[in-house]
Amino acid sequence: MQCFQPMLCHYQMSASFQKMVDKLNSMNRVDGDDEFWIEEKLDGERMQLHMEEDDETPGGKRFRFWSRKAKDYTYLYGNGFRDENGSLTRHLKDAFAPGVRNVILDGEMVVWDPELDKVLKFGTLKTAALAGQKNPHDDSAPRPVLRIFDILYLNDQPLTQYTLRDRRKALEKAVLGVPYRLEVHKYDTATSAEVIEPMLRKIVSDASEGLVIKNPRSMYSLADRSDNWIKVKPEYMSGFGESVDVVIIGGYYGKGHRGGAIGSYLCGLRASENDIKAGANPETCFSFVKVGGGFRAEDFADIRHHTDGKWKQWDSKKPPSKYIQLAGGERHQILRPDEWIRPSDSIVISVKAASAGESDQFATGITLRFPRFKGIRFDRSWDSCLDFQGFVDMKSRAEKENEEKTMNMESRRKRSAKRVKKDIIIAGQDNIAPAMFEGPKTKVFEGLDFCVLSDCTNPVKKSKTQLETLIKENGGKIYQRADPESHMLLIAEKRVVKVASLLKARDIDIIKPKWILDCLAQHDKDFLLPFESGHLFHATETTTQLAEENVDEFGDSYARDLSVKELDQVLKSMPKRVVIVGEPFDKEGFLNQLAEHGHDMGSLRSCIFRGAKVHFATTDDVSPISCLKLKNWVKYGGGSVVDDLGDKNITHVVVMSSNRTGEMERAAEVRSSISSRTPVPRVVSRQWVEDCWKNRTTVDEERYEPL
């Protein structure tokens, strides 16, 4: 039983479901059988499980877990029913039917949160598995769950040449499953393309990312991207700049009201000036969209932290109509939430969507199609998010821009190939980038609208036009007319006439150009920096308070790398003598906390070998000096060097010799000495240490085994 390259899906945009189904039905055609299967597309890691009888493994069954790229994850999920280091296999004693001797299963490893009763983002998988190793009986913590959707091998019999329909029957008989540990992935049957759109809407609103359409008459194609499996995801458009800023006004519990934890949010648009003139409370928000997808565990934690103690149970007999208006009025209360929060106590989030369309489920009469959470707008107060009229104007502007783009494309097609004259473009007078600009260099400002009001003089000099070019080169949009009522970012560091006029009229946020330069100076260009005090030219009290929280007491940023000049200023501002009281800093505990919160430290060289205990097995012709560098790399990378091969905690043995023959002989001696251990340390050549250091990550050990 060896690992294999799995069958993959083709990608299909969501615009032509009927053509997709017709193509699916044309393959492996059977008269009278137009059925196809629809599965939820899971946000996890493709995983194959191998299980076989083994008398030497405690429990009698030996497990192996392989990723799509053949990375062995057995150390993480377990090699047997009694593996105390396994986060999964110790829970699988009742997962298989009696008589199953060996099996190969294909599925997706996901993270399931018992409190929210939902699947979390893929990035939390390793953290959940490590937590499951340490606390196997904690039923409230997020955990890895393997969702099985195919079977390739059963009791010495390959099944790849059977149809998916027959393989599924075998799977359901062989795998009994264990709830929330190992489950057979559910599917729906259909014969019409009309059912795909409603299912896609529902699955995205429930926090998933799409569907997989499968042909039940198809065989399993190893290492092939087949048209018999097609993944369908929403096609998010750029008409709204890909995001809309809305305020959270309600929350819905996870399925089963498990633990009372909120798993999705009702968001609203503020009442516009016309609504207020007509008698509406200025703090009224109209229900606009329900968002459940795109959240990470830390996003839920951030929202809970900033709104803690401000939520109230929804009372259908006394709805908070002064603050929240639902579709259907007080009588029907369509999509009423389990809990509600006053808009002035809430926070603003950005939501991306495929499009906007009419809906009688929301008080606005319109909603977003395939909404998905994009981020929390800590720089926005509730009263600076979109109002209803602002959204209508944005929608109209987006539709107009799309029409103009379509007309321009049609016009270009009609031009003669010999024509070389180009239209004159005045930088800063349009949202179209200069002719020399061929596309965004990064997406750091994607979805943001800017109005640049003055030049930049600090930390470097840049003209207004140069700033606008920088913004457009990195995904942002430029407007020449300032609109403080929208979510537009106003950029200035001088009190020019436009700025003075805006400040006189209303209390607004104006950001210094330094923020733009700081965002672009970061190593990670897809990371949008939060505002700091030094980024604000003028700001509301809320924005000022949030900005102050993003730097420490000495002015050092929590989110970005300081320049040498800034670092010098921070150091000079610190007290000359600092007395450290208490216990010394616990480096390992701090790194564990970062891992538990989903922060991957693997890209840092100081964490490459973290957790590894390495023994260097050298032949007599290798001097200690020659491997000193490798040992120092291991120690610097967070690992430890073990001198005694008899140490049971060794994870890796690096074999070194001055010649190939000596290396092979020494490797054979080492394997003979450690073969009875569980788990068996990995035996590698010195090249493994060198490549880990070069690539700044732990590389697959299997390629470096001395043969």
pLDDT tens string 342-352 = 999 999 999 98
Q: Which of 203-207, 215-219, 589-593 has the highest mean pLDDT?
A: 215-219
Fold classification of 8-233 is D-amino Acid Aminotransferase; Chain A, domain 1 (3.30.470)
Q: What is residue 338's three-state secondary structure?
A: coil
E strands present in 224-284: 225-233, 244-253, 262-270
Q: How many CB atoms lie within 10 A of CB 248?
A: 27
Which residue bears the tokens 């009442």?
271
**Does 419 score more than 50 pLDDT?**
no
Bridge partners (DSSP) of residue 312 are: 340
How high is the pLDDT of residue 599?
62
How high is the pLDDT of residue 293?
81
CA 612, 616, 617, 623: dihedral to nearest 10 degrees? 170
How high is the pLDDT of residue 26?
79
How high is the pLDDT of residue 240?
43
- How many Å apart are CA 456 and CA 185, to the nearest integer? 56
Mean per-residue pLDDT over the chain, rounded: 83
Distance separating the N- and C-terminal Cα atoms of the chain: 21
134-143, 296-305, 323-332, 429-438: the lowest-pLDDT one: 429-438
Confidence of residue 63 (pLDDT cuts 50, 70, 90): very high
223 φ/ψ sector (left φ>0, alpha ψ -120 to 50, else beta): left
Q: Which two tokens stand for residue 606?
A: 């100081």
How high is the pLDDT of residue 212?
92
Q: Given the DSSP bridges, would you call strands 510-511 and 536-538 parallel, antiparallel or unpaired?
A: antiparallel
Average pLDDT over residues 637-650: 91
pLDDT tens string 292-330 = 888 877 888 899 999 999 999 999 999 999 999 999 888
Q: Return residue ranges of the chain for CATH 3.30.470.30.
A: 8-233
Q: Which two tokens stand for residue 238?
A: 């750029």
**Does 38 score more than 90 pLDDT?**
yes
215-224, 266-275, 554-563: the lowest-pLDDT one: 554-563
pLDDT tens string 437-465 = 334 578 888 888 999 999 998 888 888 88
Check: CB of residue 499 under 8 Å from CB of residue 453.
yes
Average pLDDT over residues 11-15: 55
Per-residue DSSP letter, 286 = E
Average pLDDT over residues 547-556: 86
Q: Return residue ranges of the chain for CATH 2.40.50.140.
A: 244-393
199: part of which helix (H) or strand (E)?
A: helix 196-205
Check: CB of residue 94 under 8 Å from CB of residue 177.
no
Average pLDDT over residues 52-70: 91
**Does 645 score more than 80 pLDDT?**
yes
Domain 605-704: state its class: alpha beta
E strands present in 413-459: 449-452
Of 19, 23, 41, 421, the catalytic one is: 41
pTM, full prediction: 0.44
**489 — phi, psi (to 5°)?**
-90, 125
Which residue bears the tokens 């599924």?
168
pLDDT tens string 661-673 = 889 899 999 988 9
Task: Tell me whether residue 443 is one of the annotated catalytic residues.
Answer: no
Average pLDDT over residues 643-651: 91
Q: How many CB atoms lie within 10 A of CB 242?
A: 20
Per-residue DSSP letter, 456 = B
Dihedral sign, Cα of residue 345, residue 530, residue 606, residue 612: positive
E strands present in 497-628: 510-511, 536-538, 613-618
pLDDT tens string 479-513 = 888 888 788 899 999 888 888 888 877 788 999 99
Confidence of residue 424 (pLDDT cuts 50, 70, 90): very low
Name 75's Cβ contacts closer than 8 Å, sequence gap at least 6: 85, 679
Dihedral sign, Cα of residue 206, residue 211, residue 217, residue 219: negative
Long-range contacts of 335-338 (CB under 8 A, 24+ apart): 335/266, 335/287, 335/290, 335/361, 335/362, 336/250, 337/249, 337/250, 337/251, 337/252, 337/266, 338/250, 338/251, 338/252, 338/253, 338/257, 338/262, 338/313, 338/314
Which H, E and C letters describe 145-197, residue by residue?
A: EEEEEEEEEECCEECCCCCHHHHHHHHHHHECCECCCEEECCCEEECCHHHHH
Burial class, 11, CB count within 10 angstroms (exposed 0-12 / middle 13-18 / buried 19+): exposed
How high is the pLDDT of residue 422?
41
Check: CB of residue 106 under 8 Å from CB of residue 6.
yes
Average pLDDT over residues 336-341: 94
How high is the pLDDT of residue 128?
82
* Sheet-wide strand order for 652-656: 640-641, 613-618, 652-656, 682-685
Confidence of residue 542 (pLDDT cuts 50, 70, 90): confident
Percent of the chain with pLDDT over 90: 36
Nearest to 537 by CA among 560, 571, 503, 569: 503
669 φ/ψ sector (left φ>0, alpha ψ -120 to 50, else beta): alpha
Distances in Å between the Cα of 410 and the Cα atoms of 405, 407, 438 are 9, 5, 20
Higher pLDDT, 2 or 601: 2
Integer-rounded Cα Rg, in Å, for the chain is 29
Check: CB of residue 667 under 8 Å from CB of residue 637.
no
Could you tell me the maximum CA-CA distance found in the chain, to the nearest angstrom? 92
- How many Å apart are CA 32 and CA 339, to the nearest integer? 50
Q: What is residue 607's three-state secondary structure?
A: helix
70 φ/ψ sector (left φ>0, alpha ψ -120 to 50, else beta): left
Check: CB of residue 246 under 8 Å from CB of residue 349.
yes
pLDDT tens string 154-180 = 999 999 999 999 999 999 999 999 999
**Does 236 score more than 50 pLDDT?**
no
Confidence of residue 108 (pLDDT cuts 50, 70, 90): very high
- How many Å apart are CA 122 and CA 479, to the nearest integer? 37
Residue type at 92 in one-letter notation:
L
Domain 244-393: state its class: mainly beta
Higher pLDDT, 441 or 90: 90
Confidence of residue 432 (pLDDT cuts 50, 70, 90): very low
Fold classification of 449-553 is Rossmann fold (3.40.50)
Confidence of residue 257 (pLDDT cuts 50, 70, 90): very low
Pure H helices in 356-483 = 388-414, 464-473
Nearest to 641 by CA among 664, 618, 667: 618
Q: Return residue ranges of the chain for CATH 3.40.50.10190.
A: 449-553, 605-704
